Amino acid sequence: MNSFPPLFLSHGSPMTALEPREAGAFMQRLGRALDAEFGRPRALLVVSAHSLARQPVLLAGARHEAVYDFGGFDPKLNRLRYDAAGAPALADEVQALAARAGVAIARADQGGLDHGAWTPLRYVYPEAEVPVLPLAFVPSQSPAQQFALGQALAPLAEDGVLIIGSGSITHNLRLVFGGGRPPAIDAPEIEASRAFRDWFVARSAARDWDALLDYRQQAPHAVDMHPSDEHLLPWFVAAGAGGRAAAPRRLHASLTFGSLGMDAYGFGPLAARLADSTKG
């Protein structure tokens, strides 16, 4: 089986599915680059900021459809579909791997992809031809605990499974919608957002895992950029699957509404190869 670099993708607002902008164009390039460099994965293990649970849970249904877990956006979104096969057999592998690492993962034989999953997948694999296994995570667990969850799943990345964490590198919706009318989608970046994103790039390049895992105390404007951190925690799951030896690589950087970062990262020793092949 081919090996794949675990990924973190910022999915932005649901409108990303209709207004791809720079991030959507990157995700389209990403799908082509993955095929060219690594081949087609046997399955996708997706950890989305919008699938949360009291303990890690695999959604191991045989089929998935798009779930419209939002309101107040363009009604055209509710006509978009992403019908994909599930991966029940992979769920057995995930549970066995996690158990060996002392991590308990439950299983629910049901399907459904929240918009944090189907929005990026519509660009990366638009034909929905790759089976998907969503993994709901526990938002109250720390970045270190999410990293450990990813470490337990690391063997999958060397066995044909593409692990994707989906969230947002910055995510304070009060800055976007709190004033009633949102800023322009191409508004200049606010300083707090720039400082936070730059810090993540620098600490990643330095492989400063202690700082990254303690980002809420050490990163500039951390709580302002993530009043709650469920949109950043999938970054740590994917990072754990990539391991500590290689520096996380930012594969893409863009922004919407002046503060909603759309950055993407790759992890593990194959991330550098993917970075070269996804340059726009």
Q: Give the confidence band of 115 by pLDDT, cuts at 50, 70, 90.
A: very high
User: Mean pLDDT in the chain?
Assistant: 96
Domains within the chain, CATH numbers bracketed: 7-277 (3.40.830.10)
- The confidence score (pLDDT) of residue 71 equals 87
Q: Which residue has the higher pLDDT, 71 or 76?
A: 76
Secondary structure class of 171 (helix, strand, coil)? coil
Percent of the chain with pLDDT over 70: 100
- The confidence score (pLDDT) of residue 102 equals 94
Pick the closest to residue 124 from 8, 276, 272, 211 (CA basis).
Answer: 8
**Model confidence pLDDT, tens digit, residues 8-54:** 999 998 999 999 999 999 999 999 999 999 999 999 999 999 999 99
**Model confidence pLDDT, tens digit, residues 145-185:** 999 999 999 999 999 999 999 999 999 989 987 777 889 99
- The confidence score (pLDDT) of residue 181 equals 80
CA separation (Å) from 190 to 23, 106, 167, 202, 258? 19, 41, 20, 19, 6
pLDDT at 72 over 90: no
**Model confidence pLDDT, tens digit, residues 183-194:** 999 999 999 999
Pick the closest to residue 217 from 205, 229, 207, 206 (CA basis).
Answer: 229
Secondary structure class of 183 (helix, strand, coil)? coil
Residue 39, Ramachandran bin (φ over 0: left; ψ between -120 and 50: alpha; else beta): left
- The confidence score (pLDDT) of residue 133 equals 98
CB atoms closer than 10 angstroms to residue 165: 31
Stated length of the chain: 280
- The confidence score (pLDDT) of residue 98 equals 96
- The whole-angstrom separation of Cα 187 and Cα 72 is 21
